[in-house]
Amino acid sequence: PVLGALLLGDKQDRSADAAIRVTPLAGTAIQIQDDLQDVLGTKGRGLPGADLLEGKLTWPWIRFLDGATPAVKGELLELLNQRDRRRKDVIPWINRIQASGVITDANLRIAALLDRASQASLRLLPEGVTHCLHQRLLDPLRALADTTETLSHATLRACPTMTTALAPRTLGTASRSPN
């Protein structure tokens, strides 16, 4: 849609090239950040894990599955296939994903995407447009990504029932793998 609008507006090839390079990078970073906010419960939809409760397999969960053992994969896919998922079924998975290192990986991915978008915008867009893009989109996204790791720890502290009642059963030993 962005490229179509530029072409219809008779913009130069340089602007179209910038849109082709910058928009998907920033859009992917926005989507991963949105998925992380759901995992952390900072999306405004209540407690953490609303997407998982609805049966949505989002970027953090796909990344989690990439590093999981076959048994853990089977357990999560079984939950996703249930018709009646309940909050109490989702909470142990929130603990698992937060202990797995996926949140840190997602933040690194967001930072890399934003850096690539920033570099492309600096090369391809006029200075004023680049400044506006950074001020209104890329810089706020980078700041939000920088706080996500802190938010993951704050979520666990704010929900002591998750850490005290469920963590011993779901976290096992402290490690960065989802096993």
| Per-residue confidence (pLDDT) for residue 120, from 0 to 100 | 79
pLDDT above 90 (res 163): no
Mean pLDDT of 49-71: 93
Mean pLDDT of 90-96: 93
| Per-residue confidence (pLDDT) for residue 93, from 0 to 100 | 95
- Out of 32-36, 102-106, 110-114, 166-170, which region has the weakest mean confidence (pLDDT)? 166-170
pLDDT above 90 (res 71): yes
pLDDT above 90 (res 32): yes
Choose among 20, 34, 19: nearest CA to 133.
19
Which two structure tokens, joined as six digits, stand for 75? 């357990």
Instruction: Give 30 or 124, the one with higher predicted confidence.
Output: 30
Mean of pLDDT over the chain = 74
- Out of 49-53, 113-117, 121-125, 134-138, which region has the weakest mean confidence (pLDDT)? 134-138
pLDDT above 60 (res 168): no
Contacts of residue 164, Cβ cutoff 8 Å, sequence gap at least 6: none
| Per-residue confidence (pLDDT) for residue 174, from 0 to 100 | 36
In sequence order, which ranges of the chain are alpha helices (DSSP H)? Answer: 2-8, 13-40, 50-53, 59-66, 70-81, 87-100, 102-124, 127-133, 139-158, 160-161, 167-171
